[in-house]
Amino acid sequence: MNAKLKDEILKVLKNGEVNGLDAESLSDEDLRTYITLQALKNDSKGGKYEYAVETVRDRDNGGADEASLADALAMYGERGWRLKFCFTDEMRVERDAEADATINDIVLIFERKI
């Protein structure tokens, strides 16, 4: 584990202690295991969630609109949402002499704990 990352993790832990143990004495593997167990405990506590749906349309040439996707992800992330699921929904096919372009809506489903 990167020493700087480990230092940051230890700062987050209350007084450098993990359930009465000296966090600095834990091996990297033990620290990873502890963090994983804490995450599982927090997820299993239940609670209520809310969901939001955002749709980003492809550009007219059929390519994904990366800037709009990045903007949507950043906006929701700043507000505490996490991307739960995404899929594409075919809207139409643009035909011209050079090539066909399939235009999709990219549907993003976000989740956050209430």
Question: pLDDT (tens digit, 9 = 90+) per residue, 49-90?
Answer: 899 999 998 887 778 889 999 999 999 999 999 999 998 887
**What number of H helices and E strands is found in the chain?**
3, 5
Residue with tokens 């749906």: 53
Q: How is the beta sheet containing 100-113 ordered, strand by strand?
A: 49-57, 100-113, 82-95
pTM metric for this prediction: 0.55
Mean pLDDT rounded to a whole number for the chain:
79
Q: Does residue 97 or residue 6 have the better pLDDT?
A: 6
How open is the CA angle 42-79-8, to the nearest 5 degrees? Answer: 55
- The mean pLDDT value for 23-33 works out to 74
CA distances from 36 to 12, 102, 111 (A): 15, 41, 20
Amino acid identity for residue 33 in this structure: T
Q: Does residue 45 or residue 71 have the better pLDDT?
A: 71
